[in-house]
Structure 1
Amino acid sequence: MKTIAIAGCGKLGTIVARAAARGLLPDYKLIGVYSRTPEKARAAADELAAAGKDCRVAGTFDELLALRPDFIVEAASPKALRQWALPALSQGTSLVCLSIGAFADDAFYDEARRTAEAHGSRIYIVSGATGGFDVLQTATLMGGAEAEFFNEKGPDALRGTPVYDDSLQTEARTVFSGTAAEAIRLFPTKVNVTVAAARASVGPANLHVAMRSTPGFKGDTQRVEIRNSQVHAVVDVYSATAEIAAWSVVSTLRNIASPVVFV
C-alpha cells in the first residue's frame, strides 16, 4: 500500500482527506497532513480518526516530508509549491499538484522535471476544473497546433485582483486577454488551469487566454480549444464551485493505482 500526505488543508485538501476517510482511496494510507492554519490540519486528521484511521498532524512542511510519503497532494498555492517541490522530489516523493501556476516559469518547470527524473519521483498535474489533457497532448504531438483558453467568472470572484472595479457588477466585459504566462502573473491563484492546459499543449507563452466577467454569474466556465490541420477539439467545463479540483486529485490517485488506466 502506498502512502500519501496532504500539504494544504483548506477546502480542497479537506475534500481529499475526507475521500480517504470514506475509503475512496483504498490503495493508499493517508499518513500526514499539514496546513499553515494548524486547526485546519487537525480538523482533517480528526475526520480520519473518526473513521478509525490514524493520521499525523505535521507542524511544518519539513515534518510532513520527514514522514517520507510516496505522494504528497499539494493543495496550497503556487508560492508554496515553488518552495516544496524540489525538496519533495529530491527525496523520491512524487507530487500530485493543484497549484500548477508555479510551473508557468519555464526554468522552474525544467528544474522540477530534471529533479524528478534524477530521483525516481513524478509530478502529476491534475486536470482540476478543466480536462481533455489527452487530446491536447495528442493534437500538439501531431504538429501545427494552436490553442486558446476561455474563462468566465462573476465579478465577485475578481474582487481583490487588479482588474476589478465596481462597474463589473453591471457591465459584462473581457477583463484579460494575453498568454497563460501573463494570466498567472496577474491572477496567481485564479487561473492555475490555464497553465495546466498550456503544459499539456503549446506552452504557457503560446496558449492564448481570455477572461470574461459577467454580472450575476456564479462559478466558473473553463473552455480550452485546440486545432491543427486534422483535429479541432473543444473541452468546455462549467463548475459551480471549486470542488471538482479536489475530486480530480482523488481520480488521479485512483488512476495511478488502478490496473486499468484511463488516459
Structure 2
Amino acid sequence: MLKLGIVGCGAIGTEICKAVDEGSIESELVAVYDRNKEHLSSLQSSLLNTEPVVYELQEMVKHVDLVVESASQNAAYEIVTTALESSCDVMVMSVGAFVDKNFREKVTDIAKQKGCKIYLPSGALVGLDGVKTASCNNIYSVSLTSRKPPESLEGAPYIVENNIDLENLKNETVVFEGSAAEAVKMFPANVNVAATLSLSGIGFDETSVKIIADPGAEKNIHNVTVKGNFGEFTTRVENLPSPTNPKTSYLASLSAIATLKNIVNPLQVGT
C-alpha cells in the first residue's frame, strides 16, 4: 500500500488527509507536518481512523513512498528536491514553483536519476487533457482569464506593490494582464492554474493571463481558450472557494485527491 507523507496541513492538505482517513484513497497516511501548530492540531483532531506521526521533512522521507507538497510556493523548492533526492515520488500543489526554469530542470533530472515521478494535479482548471493533446502538434495561443472576489487577492505581491485598493472596489476591475510567468510570480497564492496551464501547453512566456477582481463574484471563475492546428476550444469553470481558505478553490483539493486515486489505480483513463 502506498505510504503518504503530507507537508502543509492547510485547506488542501487537510482534505487529502481526510480522504485517506475515510478510505477514499487506497493508501496509508504515515506522516504529516506543518510549521503552523494550529493547523496540525486541527488536522489531528479531525481524523477518526488514522494517527499519522508528525515528522519534519528530513525524517518523513525515510518512511514514505510519496510526499505531498501542499505548503507554499517558497517551501516547494526544498520539499520537492529533498523528496526526490531521497527516492520518494512527490505530488506538488504549489505548481507556481515550476516557473523557475533552473528548478524545473534540476528536479526533473533528479527524478530521472532516482527513477521517481513528479505529479502536478490539474488543480482548479478543467480541460488540461485537451491542452496536452493539442500540444502534440502546434498550438498558436493559450489564454487564461481568472475572475475572483477581491478579498481572495489580498496580500498578493502585485496588489501590494501597485497599491491597489481591493477593499473599496465597486465594479469589476482588471488588476493584471500579462504573461503567465509574471502572473505566477506576482500572485503566488492565487494563480497556480496559470502554471499548470503553461506546463501543459506552450510555456510560461507564451501563455497570456488576465486577472479580474470582481466585487460581485462569489466564485473563482477561470476561462481558458486554446487555438491551434487541431482547431479551437474554450473551457469555463466556476469554482466555489474552499470553506477554510478563500484563496483556494475547492476543486483544487478534489483534484489532489483524484490524482492520488489515479496513482494507485491500475486502470488509467484519459490523457
- 1:69-94 deviation line (CA, Å, top 9, x unaligned): 11111111110001111111111111
Give the Å deviation of 1:222: 1.4
Give 1:32 deviation, angstroms: 0.3
1:197 aligns with 2:193: no
How far is the alpha carbon of 1:260 from its aligned partner?
Answer: 1.6
Task: Identify if the C-alpha distance between structure 1 residues 135 and 159 changes in structure 2 by more than 3 Å, giving closer, same or farther.
Answer: same
Could you tell me whether the CA contact under 8 Å between 1:127 and 1:133 is conserved in 2?
Answer: yes
Find the partner of 2:60 among 50, 56, 64.
64
Shift of 1:41: 2.1
Which residue of structure 1 lines up, in the alignment, with residue 263 of structure 2?
256
CA distance in 1, matches of 2:95, 2:167: 31
- 1:152 — aligned with what? 147
Displacement after TM superposition at 1:237 (Å):
1.0
Structure 1's consecutive aligned runs of 4 or more residues displaced over 6 angstroms after TM superposition are none
Cα deviation for residue 43 of structure 1 reads 3.3
CA 166–258 in structure 1, closer or farther in 2 if over 3 Å, else same? closer
Distance 1:85 1:259 in 2: 25
Contact 1:42 1:57 in 2 (8 A): no
Please list the CA deviations of residues 28-63 of structure 1 after superposition, one character each: whole Å capped at 9, or x if unmatched: 111000001123224323444x22x231112x2222
Q: In structure 2, how many angstroms separate the alpha carbons of the residues matched to 1:168 and 1:201?
A: 36
Give the SS at the match of 2:136. helix
Cα deviation 1:97-129 (Å, max 9, x = unaligned): 110000011111111111111101111110111
Q: Deviations along 1:192-235, whole A, 9 cap, x unmatched? A: 11001100001111100011111221221112221113321222
Aligned residues with identical type, % of pairs: 28
Q: What are structure 2's unaligned runs of at least 5 residues?
A: 242-248
Deviation string, structure 1 residues 237-259 (Cα, Å, up to 9, x no partner): 11111221111111011111112
Partners of 1:91 and 1:167 in 2: how far apart? 45
Contact 1:78 1:101 in 2 (8 A): yes
**1-side partners of 2:131 and 2:140: how far apart?**
9
Aligned residue number for residue 14 of structure 1: 14
Aligned with 1:55 (options 30, 52, 55): 52
Contact 1:155 1:216 in 2 (8 A): no
> Given the alignment of the two structures, is residue 121 of structure 1 paired with residue 116 of structure 2, yes or no?
yes
Write the distance in 2 (CA, Å) between the matches of 1:18 and 1:125. 20
- Aligned pairs for 1:4-43 within 5 A: 4-26=4-26, 28-43=27-42
Matched, 1:245 2:241: no
User: Would the aligned equivalents of 2:137 and 2:229 in 1 still touch at CA under 8 Å?
Assistant: no
Given that 1:168 and 1:213 are in contact with CA atoms closer than 8 Å, whether structure 2 keeps it comes out as: no
The match for 2:245 is none
**Distance in 2 (alpha carbons) for counterparts of 1:259 and 1:188:** 34
Partner SS for 2:212: strand
* Aligned alpha-carbon RMSD (Å): 1.5
Tell me the residue number matched to 2:87: 92
Residue of 71, 75, 78 corresponding to 1:76: 71
8 Å contact 1:170–1:215 — kept in the other structure? yes
Q: Which amino acid aligns with 1:54?
A: E
TM-score normalised by length of structure 1 = 0.93
Aligned partner of 1:85: which letter?
V
Q: Structure 1 stretches of 5 or more lacking a match?
A: none
